[in-house]
Amino acid sequence: MKTILLSAIVLIAMSCSKNGGSRGQEPPPPPPVKEIVYDETGCLYTAYDNLVMAGYQGWFAAEGDGSERGWYHLGLGSCGGFKPGCSAVDFYPDMTEYTQKYKTPFKYADGSDAYMYSPYDESTVDLHFKWMKDYGIDGVFMQRFVGEVKNTNPKGKRHFNKVLENALKAAKKYGRAICVMYDLSGCAPEDVAYLEQDWKELQTIFNLFDNKANPTYLRHNKKPLVVIWGVGFNDNRRYTTANVDALVDKLKGPEKRVSVMLGVPYYWRSMRNDTENNPGLHSLIRKCDIVMPWAVGRYSSGNYAQVAGVELAADIQWCKTNNVTYVPLAFPGFSWGNLKNDPAQYNSIPRLKGDFLWQQVAGAKISGARSLYVAMFDEIDEGTAIYKCAREGELPLHGDRRFIGLDPELASDYYLWLTGQAGRWFKGEGGFGTTKPVRP
C-alpha cells in the first residue's frame, strides 16, 4: 500500500516537473504580422481629405458598342426596352462632345435621330475624366455591383472591367483620383464572400496598388482604399452585417492590406429608420477607415436643415470620437419617373437650379466635413447626374413619356461647374458661404 502511495506521489511530482519543463520547450509565439507598407512616391491622392469626388456608374451600354449588352441600363424590360415611351432613364446626356455615339430609336421634334454614348468606349470615359479636370472635380468612385461581375455573368464582368480599364487610363491621363466601390445590393451571403476574389483579380489585372502604374488610385491611412457600399440597411437584404464584417477582416488581413470605406444607411448612428438596430454595425464601422452615409432621397430642400443639421454634426462628432473619417453625401436632385413607370416621380426632389446641391455643400462644410461624395457623376436613371445633360427644349421625344431636362436658363455643364466650386471651397479657397456662387 505504502509503495503505491509513494509511487503515486513520485509520479505526480514528475508530471509536475515535466509540465514545468515542457513549458520552456514550447515553440515561441509567432512574430506579430508586420503591417504592410506601400510606396506612395508620386501618388497624387494619399487621403480622402479636402476632396470632392463623385460616384461613377459607368453601367450604360449601347447597341453596337461591342459589349453585347444592348441598351443596358437605358432600357426598361417591363415596357419593351429603350424606345419612345419606354426607358429606365429620366435625364438625357448632352451628346455634343462625344466622338463615339450610337443611333437610338429616339428622335427630336425636327425628325433628327437622337444618339447615346457608351462608357464601353475609351474615348467616352476619357471625355468624362477630361470634364472632371476642366471643372475641378477631384475624381470618382467606380461602382462595381457584385452581382454584375460574378463569373456566372461573363458579359457583365467584361463590361465593368472594360469601363474600369478606360477609367484607370483616363484618371492617370488627367490626374484624377479613382477608387473601386463595390455595391452589395442584391447579394447573397456567398456573393459577399466572392467580392474578395474579384478584388484580388482586379489587383492582378490592373496592378491597382502600384504607385507608378496607378499614381492616382485613392489611398487613405497609407493604404489603397476600397469601398463596400450597402451594410446596415434594414430592407431585408439576404446578407448580414456579420457577413460584411468577416469580409472586411479578410480584405484587410493581419497585415492591414487596404483601407476600407463603408457605405451605410443615413441613420447609421442612431440605428433607426433605414438602419437595422444592430450594435454590430458600429463595431464594423470602428474597424473601417471611412464612413459615408447614403443621403439620396432622405431629404429635399424644404426639410434639409431639419433632417440633416443635427444628424450631420452628431455623425461627425461620433466619427471624431471613434477615429473614423466621415464623408457626407450631396446630390443635386432626384427623378425616376420612367424607371418607376410613374409620372408623379418626375423631379420628385427638385434641383432648384442648383440651390439644393449648394445647400448640402454648405451644410457639410458648416458642420465640419472635410470632404464630399457627390451622387453621382452619370446617374440618369435616378436623375442625380452632374455631368452635361440636355436642357428642357433640347430633349428627344419620348412617346407618352418624357425626359427631364435641366432648366433652360442653365448651361448643360452647370452642375459640373457648381460641383467644381464645392471643390474649391473644400480645398480652402475663400469667398464661399451659404449663398450659391454666381457663375460669371
Contact residues toward other proteins (CB under 8 A) are: 304-306, 308-310, 312-314, 317-318, 321, 362-364, 366-368, 433-434
Residue closer to other proteins (CB basis): 308 or 395: 308
Report how far residue 302's alpha carbon sits from residue 23's, in angstroms, rounded to the nearest whole number: 70
The smaller minimum CB distance to other proteins, of residues 15 and 303, is found at 303
One-character DSSP codes across 142-205: EEEEGGGSSTT-HHHHHHHHHHHHHHHHHHHHHT-EEEEEEE-TT--HHHHHHHHHHHHHHHHH
In the chain, the amino acid numbered 439 is R
Least Cα distance to 365 among 320, 440, 308 occurs for 308
Hunting for cell 448643360 — which residue is that?
Answer: 412
Kind of pairing between the strands at 139-145 and 177-183:
parallel
Phi, psi of 112 (to 5 degrees): -75, 155
- Nearest distance, CB of residue 308 and other proteins, angstroms: 7
Strand 329-330 with 325-326, pairing: unpaired
Q: How far is the CB of 298 from other proteins (least distance, A)?
A: 14
* Closest to 246 (Cα-Cα) out of 287, 214, 209: 287
CA 409 to chain CA centroid, nearest Å? 31
Nearer to other proteins, 118 or 359 (CB): 359
Q: Which is nearer to other proteins, 208 or 288 (CB)?
A: 288
Instruction: Tell me the C-alpha distance between 381 and 73, whole Å.
Output: 8
By beta-carbon proximity to other proteins, the closer residue of 174 and 304 is 304
Instruction: Give the whole-angstrom CA distance, residue 66 versus residue 120.
Output: 8
Residue found by looking up cell 491597382 in the block: 208
**For residue 376, cis peptide bond before it (omega within 30 degrees of 0):** yes
Residue 357 neighbours by CB under 8 Å, 6+ apart: 330, 331, 332, 333, 351, 415, 418, 419, 422
Residue 320 C-beta: closest distance to other proteins, Å = 10
Q: Which is nearer to other proteins, 178 or 295 (CB)?
A: 295
Least Cβ distance, residue 377 to other proteins (angstroms): 24
Residue type, 47: A
- Least distance CB 312 / other proteins (angstroms): 7
Give CA–CA dist 182/342, Å, rounded.
29
C-alpha–C-alpha distance, residues 97 and 152, integer Å: 36
DSSP 3-state of 277: coil
Nearer of residues 10 and 310 to other proteins, judged by Cβ? 310
**CA distances from residue 127 to 71, 169, 279, 423 in whole angstroms, order as listed:** 20, 12, 44, 20
Residue 161 or 317 having the CB closest to other proteins: 317
Decide: helix, strand or coil at residue 23. Answer: helix
The nearest distance, CB 273 to other proteins, in angstroms, is: 14
Q: Look up residue 217 and give its DSSP letter.
A: B
Q: Minimum distance from CB of 318 to other proteins (Å)?
A: 7
Shortest Å distance, C-beta 316 to other proteins: 8
- The nearest distance, CB 435 to other proteins, in angstroms, is 9
Residue 288 Cβ vs other proteins, minimum distance, rounded to whole Å: 18
Instruction: Choose between 103 and 320: whose C-beta lies nearer to other proteins.
Output: 320
Please say which residue, 52 or 395, places its beta carbon nearer to other proteins: 52
